[in-house]
Structure 1
Amino acid sequence: MELHALLSYTFFLLFLFVIAGETVWANEEDRKVANGGFRPTKLFVFGDSYSDTGNNPKSLASSWKTPYGVTFPGKPAGRYSDGRILTDYVARFMGIKSPLPYQWKKYGENKLQYGINFACGGTGVFDTGNMQPNMSTQIGFLEGLIKQTVYTKRDLDSSLALVTVSGNDYGAYTASGGPEQGLPSFISRVVNQMGINLKRIHDMGVRKVVVTALQPVGCLPKQTIFSSYQQCNETDNSAATLHNQLLQQAVTTLNNSTKGSSFLVLDLFSSFNTVLKNKGDFTGSLKFDTPLKPCCVGKKGDANCGSLDENGKALYTVCNEPGSTFFWDSLHPSEAGWRAVYLTLRSSLNQIYN
């Protein structure tokens, strides 16, 4: 994805702030605010497990089971990782707390001042069969809050939306017996609906809308397990490439029909590949010796991370150092993995201040 030239800045802020209970430092490398430019103070999140911070019901989701959350906050908290995920890092970039999950419904100015997260693990652009709200329904939740005047026009004008789509629609398509030759047509349907959804979010008054490109799904441990975590499935990656090409076209069309660059694609495909190829982040601070192998692995059969047998015994194994792995489980990056991805995306994120 082509990157625009960075804006010039007159000063940098160095300050201490808190993300979902964690103390971190922000500096000029994490957050660069253009002099007089757009500065979002609220984050609205829509999508799936790549951005869900606790909306999936505890009775259904593995994200509420041990060992999820072992790195942060030290116990399962609804994130599909050992710790922080993309949402947390985008919020960090903005200099705000990660917004509360919608499921908590703790309305009040002091609770919702940073926005709200509607994303729900396992969902898609369309229904994926898990009975959880798809993207259109999630957007409807925000519309409901606007009608209740929980958020005002001024709130929306100073907000950013993060939209993640990580492939659940395609998993549901395959699981339902969808023919391989029909996949390109289905990909077009998914992306067309994404375009409608993105415009709907913006038309409500959200100033900037950021949407993720599809990650290289053929490099997920769910696929690389068949090569002992040595090789990606290039057929699956080709399908992801088609999705991303159509998405970029859709976003370009949306930007051409609105004032300014209201829509931005975060290129997870390239960022994942960059980290996997380098076996770590480009700064050299994070290293992953076997980047395609997850930290938490099911021991046998269909056992997944967090699964227990009838006696409560773990049907999974966990590596000693989650921070040394890019993937946490068969589908999701670890906290260290997401941080490495975030480091490759910061220059792109600077475009939200245009």
Structure 2
Amino acid sequence: MKQLFPILSLFLILYLSVSGQRVVQAKASPQQRPTKLFVFGDSYADTGNIQRAFSNSWKDPYGATFPGKPAGRFSDGRVLTDYIAKYLKVKSPIPYRLRKVMPKQVKYGMNFAFGGTGVFNTLAPLPNMTTQIDFLQHLIQHKVYTALDLTNSVALVSVAGNDYVRFMQTNASQGLASFVATVINQTRTNLIRIKGLGVKKIVVGALQPLGCLPQMTAPTSFQRCNDTTNAMVLLHNALLNQAVTRLNQQTKDRSSFLILNLFDSFMSVFNHPSTHNIRSKFTPCCVGVSSNYSCGSVDMNNVKKYRVCDDPKSAFFWDLVHPTQAGWHAVYNKLRTMNALQHILY
């Protein structure tokens, strides 16, 4: 456990979540295309739920590529949520906190994800996934969404990561492998609950190769992934795959739940970066000028304490843990070539 603590301590800076395989093939027809997207999870899916005062995602240079200014996304531009919405041919759902400001946009679904959260309470005092699902249930009870709306919807679930930091901070006597199983069990409970609200299809992202994040590749001058960390990720993903497979076996259509294989899609881009016009695969584009600062930091005189690479479009990672828009676009394209996304459609 002592050896694992440095590995898991990387989660202290993660505002992310989350290998799996396609589970069941589902053929779509034009009449079956979903019209709404509901999103639950953390910063790999959050599009602006955290208040401006509490996150660097609302500070320059975040959002520089899209929409041209900080907008609450943990990237220079679009994130996973935006690309899944693009595939579904719906507008990216509005953040939950903006539902009353932009009421006409609720017809496309809603994003309940908050950066830094997990399936359990984490170090970030923000709504965990249970509470996020409560938000959707509350909206259904108040008839913001009807049964028909839910039938024509897809849920995207970005899970894990931040739960492990909380686990290490509590010095729990429970073993790591046992805790991973606990996280997966709660994830399974969450998926069942979302399905019970009437959502037709639930897509959950597997953990990406955390050992390849800049925070972990920095000791090798951003040259090599940490295989020990990635081995832990594979345990999480194997248990998630088992859980999702069982859920599908227990449903009538056997295609309600789907895993997005983010691990393999990330690794494919890393192994063939030039195919995706990526020249810098592990080096972050935006970093603090020293270890005391991070992307978006300024001093008391509002002087920038970060530096940005010349071409974010050629970098896979934006900061120490989050992909650039170019990185997410490469992952999205890989998921499409793997025929993974077609199974989101009914």
* TM more than 0.5: yes
SS in 2 for 1:200: helix
CA distance in 2: counterparts of 1:218 and 1:190, whole angstroms: 19
Amino acid at match of 1:296: C
Amino acid at match of 1:95: K
Deviations 1:93-117 (A, max 9, x none): 0001100000112277622110000
Q: Residue 147 of structure 1 corresponds to which residue in structure 2?
A: 141
User: Which residue, out of 225, 248, 254, partners 2:218?
Assistant: 225
Q: Residue 198 of structure 2 corresponds to which residue in structure 1?
A: 205
Report deviation, 1:287.
1.9
Q: Residue 262 of structure 1 corresponds to which residue in structure 2?
A: 256
1:283-302 mapped onto 2 (5 Å cutoff): 284=275, 286-302=276-292
Q: Residue 328 of structure 1 corresponds to which residue in structure 2?
A: 318
Q: Is the CA contact 1:66–1:76 (under 8 Å) kept in the aligned structure 2?
A: yes
CA distance in 1: counterparts of 2:127 and 2:24, whole angstroms: 38
SS in 1 for 2:258: strand
Select the structure that is richer in helix: 2
CA RMSD for the aligned pairs?
Answer: 1.8
SS in 2 for 1:128: coil
**Pair 1:122–1:104, CA change in 2 (3 A):** same
Deviations 1:249-268 (A, max 9, x none): 11011111112200000011
Report deviation, 1:303.
1.4
Q: Is the CA contact 1:166–1:215 (under 8 Å) kept in the aligned structure 2?
A: no
SS in 2 for 1:125: coil
CA distance in 2: counterparts of 1:4 and 1:128, whole angstroms: 30
SS in 2 for 1:59: helix
**Pair 1:5–1:45, CA change in 2 (3 A):** closer
Q: Residue 348 of structure 1 corresponds to which residue in structure 2?
A: 340
User: Quick one: higher RCO (CA 8 Å, sep 6+), 1 or 2?
Assistant: 2
Amino acid at match of 2:124: N
Q: Residue 240 of structure 1 corresponds to which residue in structure 2?
A: 233
1:113-128 mapped onto 2 (5 Å cutoff): 113-128=107-122
Structure 1: segments with no counterpart, 5+ residues: 9-33
Report deviation, 1:177.
4.3
Q: Is the CA contact 2:22–2:261 (under 8 Å) kept in the aligned structure 1?
A: no
Q: Residue 13 of structure 1 corresponds to which residue in structure 2?
A: none
**Pair 1:211–1:170, CA change in 2 (3 A):** same
1:36-47 mapped onto 2 (5 Å cutoff): 38-47=32-41
CA distance in 1: counterparts of 2:321 and 2:22, whole angstroms: 28
CA distance in 2: counterparts of 1:200 and 1:215, whole angstroms: 24
Q: Is the CA contact 2:21–2:259 (under 8 Å) kept in the aligned structure 1?
A: no
Name the stretch that deviates more: 207-216 or 303-312: 303-312
Deviations 1:288-318 (A, max 9, x none): 2230001001221231111112222222110
Q: Residue 307 of structure 1 corresponds to which residue in structure 2?
A: 297
Report deviation, 1:79.
0.2
CA distance in 1: counterparts of 2:120 and 2:196, whole angstroms: 20
**Pair 1:109–1:303, CA change in 2 (3 A):** closer
Matched-pair identity in %: 52
Q: Is the CA contact 1:37–1:353 (under 8 Å) kept in the aligned structure 2?
A: no
SS in 1 for 2:85: helix
CA distance in 2: counterparts of 1:154 and 1:110, whole angstroms: 18
Q: What's the TM-score, normalizing by structure 2?
A: 0.89
Q: Residue 78 of structure 2 corresponds to which residue in structure 1?
A: 84
Deviations 1:195-240 (A, max 9, x none): 0000000010000000000010111111111111111111111111
User: Which residue, out of 105, 114, 118, partners 2:99?
Assistant: 105
Name the stretch that deviates more: 186-195 or 226-235: 226-235
SS in 2 for 1:333: coil
1:164 and 2:154 are equivalent in the alignment: no
CA distance in 1: counterparts of 2:220 and 2:160, whole angstroms: 22
CA distance in 1: counterparts of 2:192 and 2:101, whole angstroms: 26
Structure 2: segments with no counterpart, 5+ residues: 1-19
Q: Residue 187 of structure 2 corresponds to which residue in structure 1?
A: 194
Q: Residue 329 of structure 2 corresponds to which residue in structure 1?
A: 339
Report deviation, 1:148.
0.2
